[in-house]
A and B are shown apart, each in its own frame.
Chain A
């Protein structure tokens, strides 16, 4: 990422978003959060760009133009997936005409034999312009990441003991019961 220490020319690519994230991107270039003082410039052609600001869950109809635009950006390139739709597919991640955000697009690229480029994810619905600027700073290597995967697994010992206590309570009150022989009922989703 040392390549981008001075300036970053970005190309804005909308693959079917609602325009909330796109307006926040343009807001980042408006006078109050002026991203241009940090070296960011919006260019009109993908051939001139260093980075792609990608918004939108990838819709089926916009897919070919998106693939061509990403292939047109010369190496080395970096993709910033802006918004909930680009990071994970958003609220319509499983719809019939949506590929599911940038992960779906990378699956398509892999099937064509193209390696997916380096990606930075900026979640938010829509992300504040300051959050987008933080993402750009991360791309340029000037800011640190604040998120980390967090996992918590319950301790087995106390939980197993609690389970056994409850079983003992039951067998004390209802000695000698056998499980019922009726068939299981499956609860399903209403489908017309």
Chain B
């Protein structure tokens, strides 16, 4: 008797299959899908690279061409959203795209290349031009010149000035 009741319940329910490949499905607004870097906002600071648990975001500096490459490989991404939280400029965001299948592994990469900035004193490339420009524009007038240096040179220059000011 119970078996018949279960059968009748199933018949009453009808067809439950969704029509997926032939019609789109509804995705919730909080869905964590593919991350996308906005190349105009990215400054190459590397905060996202530091925050990414599976190292899907990697950073490589190439001295010969003076470029810094931020590489996002969505094949290894775990869609946690830590990069979105860490980015100070809002350049990387998680979209709602989930259809990510690809035939070539190369199609799963996004590369952003930014020019490296060299220190005026010692010539070492230590960050990108965009980041230094944004930092310098955000500082007050009298601190701008010292902010264009790499950390080692900046230490030596401003230490001299601090001891000078104490006298």
Contacts and interface: CB of A to CB of B under 8 A. Distances in A.
Instruction: State which size class the interface on B falls in.
Output: 35 or more
B77 A123 contact: yes
A119 B79 CA distance: 22
Max chain A C-beta neighbours (<10 A), residue from B20, B107, B121 = B20
Contacts of A177: 121, 157
A58 interface: no
Interface of B: 16-18, 20-21, 25, 39, 53-56, 67, 73-79, 97-103, 105-115, 117-118, 120-123, 129-130, 132-133, 136, 144-145, 148-149, 152-153, 155-157
A53 B149 CA distance: 53
A154 B101 contact: no
Contacts of B103: 119-121, 138, 145
A91 B120 CA distance: 40
A50 to B, nearest CB: 17
Main secondary structure of the interface of A (DSSP, over half): mixed
Contacts, number: 177
Instruction: State which size class the interface on A falls in.
Output: 35 or more
B113 A152 contact: yes
A173 interface: yes
Contacts of A33: 17-18, 20
Interface in A143-181: 143, 145-154, 156, 159-160, 162-163, 166-167, 169-174, 177-180
A114 B109 CA distance: 27
Given A120-B101, A163-B118, A32 B17 contact: yes
Interface in A69-113: 84, 87-94, 103
B129 A149 contact: no
Contacts of B129: 159, 162-163, 166
A86 to B, nearest CB: 9
Nearest to B121: A179
A185 to B, nearest CB: 8
Closest 7 CB pairs of A and B: A88-B76, A87-B75, A173-B145, A135-B101, A180-B156, A152-B39, A159-B115
B39 A122 contact: no
Given A84-B54, A149-B110, A150-B110, A121 B99 contact: no
Max chain B C-beta neighbours (<10 A), residue from A34, A90, A147, A185 = A147
A120 B102 contact: yes
Given A37-B17, A131-B100, A131-B101, A90 B114 contact: no
Contacts of A131: 98-101
Given A88-B75, A147-B108, A124 B121 contact: no
A130 B76 contact: no
7 contacts: A120-B102, A123-B76, A130-B98, A134-B21, A147-B102, A150-B111, A169-B144
A33 B67 CA distance: 46
A134 B102 CA distance: 10
Contact of B101 (A92, A121, A159, A185): A121
Contacts of B148: 166-167, 169-170
A171 B119 CA distance: 12
A37 B20 CA distance: 11
Given A88-B76, A121-B75, 7 more contacts: A88-B54, A123-B75, A135-B101, A152-B113, A154-B113, A169-B136, A170-B120
B20 A162 contact: no
